[in-house]
Structure 1
Amino acid sequence: MAGSRKNKIKKFVSSSHTNNPPDQVQTDDDNVLMDDLLAELDSRNQTVQQESATVLLEMQENQENTVKDNCRPAKKKQDSRSRHEARQARKAEALAKNHAPIDPEADSRLEKEAKEEEISIKETCDKLGVQTHEIPPDGHCLFSAVADQLALLNILPPNQANYVTVRAAASNFIYTHPDHFLPFLPSAFGEDGVGATSEGFMTPRQFEQYCMSIKDTGAWGGEPEILALSQAYNVPIHVVQGGVPRIVEHNPGPSPRSSAKVARISFHRRMYGLGEHYNSLRPKTTISQVAGKIQSAFS
């Protein structure tokens, strides 16, 4: 864990045991820290997972106690980001409980759902002539998957096709088109939370914080970010999934347009058990060509 994040955690833990309400700076720090921790729940390093989960649970408990102390109900709209945070909270709880009882029935059900999803996505990919290109589950998967597609379509040069560039593009587009996105981004604190308007929309400060978190942290990306990227790069983004419909289309304009350039990514609800994930879908011919070049280089 980086030293700066260690200091943030120490600062949070020490402040959580005082009776003084956190000021705005502390709240902002906590939001950034939470985004980082949520991203690290997808790490393949079990030590990182465990450490992040433990701190997240303590932060969540502290927030719940604050709500109770203020006697204010915490009502939260179920937008895509809220649902993701709820799932990540459940993941944190599961990771933190080292001695949680084994539930064979639940494990079997999840395994079955994961297999069915895998088969469904593969069927759709076969029809499209594409194949999954795995993206690391590091909290940046959506942006890395889109970056990979933009490189394949020659929309971004390879040296710029990374999650940093794509995160910045999504953040900038959302920030410069607030009227298009605010209705889909309810206040992070809920309609009755501190700082929320009567309509439950984000305040200007909250909106700015949201955009900055997309750009500078490991905050999870969802439907708003996919739509923003489709419009920012003027390219349709098609998401293949195991549910219905099999393909969710995001188009840069009000009506679909015929184009040879379509970015294709896959959305996996069960691929990693407790978390959701995006992968890039490359043409099978492209994957074969790359594999052939690698094989030739070592032969």
Structure 2
Amino acid sequence: MGSKKNKLKKAFSPPFQQSPPLPEPDDDAELLNDLMAQLDSGNQTVQAESAQVIQDIQRQETVSGTKKDPNSRYQARQARKAAALAESYSPSNPEADARLMQEAKEEESNIRRICDELNVQIYEINPDGHCLYSAIADQLALLSIIPPAQANYATARLAACNYMYSHPDDFIPFLPSTSGEDGPGALNAGIISPKGFEYYCQAIRDTSEWGGEPEILALSRAFNVPIHVIQSGQPPIVIHNPTGTPNDGDVRDKRVVRISYHRRMYGLGEHYNSLRPQSKLSNISNSLQNILS
């Protein structure tokens, strides 16, 4: 496993050698990210236990205070994010549960309708915190951009990390300040610092922290392929181009990465799946469903 990981890192290493290596991951930060990934588990027992541990960590940090070095600020930001997620697992009333269930059904119906129009089907990705990267890696292998043996989240995480780290000016202006998020005026804290950006890239490469818009753009540029994100809402298809021009492209182009974005699929939401071409069996099943409905 170690040698394979080293080979992947070498294959996708940044083009310049004079830059300092990214800092090694901190044990506490790794623990926190693992707990956050477990919140995305379909096992309610695992979710509840992880939420309790996260809440305990948050209480301890509140009592002991937070250090001022960048790594501690990053951990504090992650702790607050994790604590907010953990709170979503507190007991809720039946009306709220019913509303969320209805929203999840509507979202799934909207996404599947768009998939049918594009003749693709949802290929479910494990909800483990790596879903964005796993979904894109699956698509890259389908397009023969990467070998099937490298179609995993580690490959995609490393590529996103290296591209962002090699092109800081393209991403730093759009990332929030980690130090500002730890103090007053967090919503107007300015952009991330260069040191904070290093930790951000480190988290992409070495942890299970979720990915989003910056990472999708980085992967689109790293592999020079458009990435289309199908979602419930407007616009129904968000297009990310390597050139950086948003929503400019053919939605029926076959040489694109297609993934779906779900906010309610697993209750907590923020999940991505891969969209593979529909099989003959799925086409028959869809036709039968249309006749019966």
TM-score of the superposed pair, with normalisation by structure 2? 0.75
- Give the whole-Å Cα distance in 1 for the aligned partners of 2:67 and 2:147: 52
Match of 2:54 among 45, 53, 56: 56
Alignment of 1:64-83 (within 5 A): 64-65=62-63
Paired position in structure 2 for 1:167? 157
Q: Percentage identity across aligned positions?
A: 58
1:282 aligns with 2:276: yes
Alignment of 1:77-226 (within 5 A): 86=81, 88-95=82-89, 97=90, 100=91, 102-190=92-180, 193=183, 200-226=190-216
Match of 1:237 among 222, 227, 247: 227
- What SS does structure 1 have at the residue aligned with 2:274? strand
- Give the whole-Å Cα distance in 1 for the aligned partners of 2:182 and 2:260: 35
| 1:13-41 Cα shifts (integer Å, max 9, x gaps) | xxxxxxxxxxxx9x944333222211111
Shift of 1:267: 0.3
Greater mean deviation of Cα atoms: 200-209 or 167-176: 200-209
Paired position in structure 1 for 2:17? none
Shift of 1:192: 6.4
Quick one: which amino acid aligns to residue 271 of structure 2?
Answer: H
Give unpaired runs (5+ residues) of structure 1.
Answer: 1-24, 71-81, 290-299
Match of 1:270 among 264, 274, 290: 264
Paired position in structure 2 for 1:43? 41
Paired position in structure 1 for 2:14? none
Shift of 1:287: 7.8
- Give the whole-Å Cα distance in 2 for the aligned partners of 1:199 and 1:266: 32
- Give the whole-Å Cα distance in 2 for the aligned partners of 1:277 and 1:68: 31
Paired position in structure 1 for 2:18? none
- What SS does structure 1 have at the residue aligned with 2:239? strand
Paired position in structure 2 for 1:79? none
- Give the whole-Å Cα distance in 2 for the aligned partners of 1:216 and 1:107: 35
- Give the whole-Å Cα distance in 2 for the aligned partners of 1:182 and 1:66: 31
- Residue 273 and residue 47 in structure 1: after superposition, are their counterparts in 2 closer, same or farther (change >3 A)? closer
Paired position in structure 2 for 1:78? none
- Residue 260 and residue 274 in structure 1: after superposition, are their counterparts in 2 closer, same or farther (change >3 A)? closer
Shift of 1:288: 6.0
- Give the whole-Å Cα distance in 2 for the aligned partners of 1:170 and 1:63: 31
Greater mean deviation of Cα atoms: 249-258 or 58-67: 58-67
